[in-house]
Amino acid sequence: MSGKREPLDAEGQRVYARLTAHVARELARALAAESQFGTITRAELARRLGRDKGFVTRKLSGGENMELRTVAAFLAALGYEMDVAARRIKAPPGEGRNFFHETPPVASRTIKFSAGPGPNTPPATTTTAPNATWQRVPNAA
């Protein structure tokens, strides 16, 4: 990977902002849930990541970019996994519907990613091993 970023148009920037905010919010939610049960603190999470507490705070605020490796490290340290689903924003040309707010037809597919089961969750149906895998799965009707 060359480290070169793909240029984003206005729609790409909107999707990127929404995605990064969602990921940060889900990680913060997982940490809050674990903190509530006394299983981990922000300081302990930082220790497990080999970073300082400020790093964790910055990443969870959503103000900094997180590579997928960083997201995976946070999830693994928390004992969590995350599912990601892609869905159409706009209807295909010639269609009058907005698929973003509708259930897609049964024949369409969603791509899900799973970072592997955590100790606090049952094994996900999208994984067969603790290693990350990509699988095409049919949408629920």
**Closest by Cα among 79, 100, 82, 83 to 91:** 100
Confirm whether 2 is domain-assigned. Answer: no
Confirm whether 121 is domain-assigned. Answer: yes
For 27-59, the pLDDT digits (tens) are 999 999 999 999 999 999 999 999 999 999 989
* pTM of this prediction exceeds 0.85: no
Domain extent, residue 119, equals 81-141
Domain identity same for 68 and 98: no
**Closest by Cα among 106, 105, 85, 107 to 95:** 105
Domain identity same for 72 and 113: no
Where residue 60 sits, what CATH number does that domain have? 1.10.260
Confirm whether 110 is domain-assigned. Answer: yes
What is the total count of domains within the chain?
2
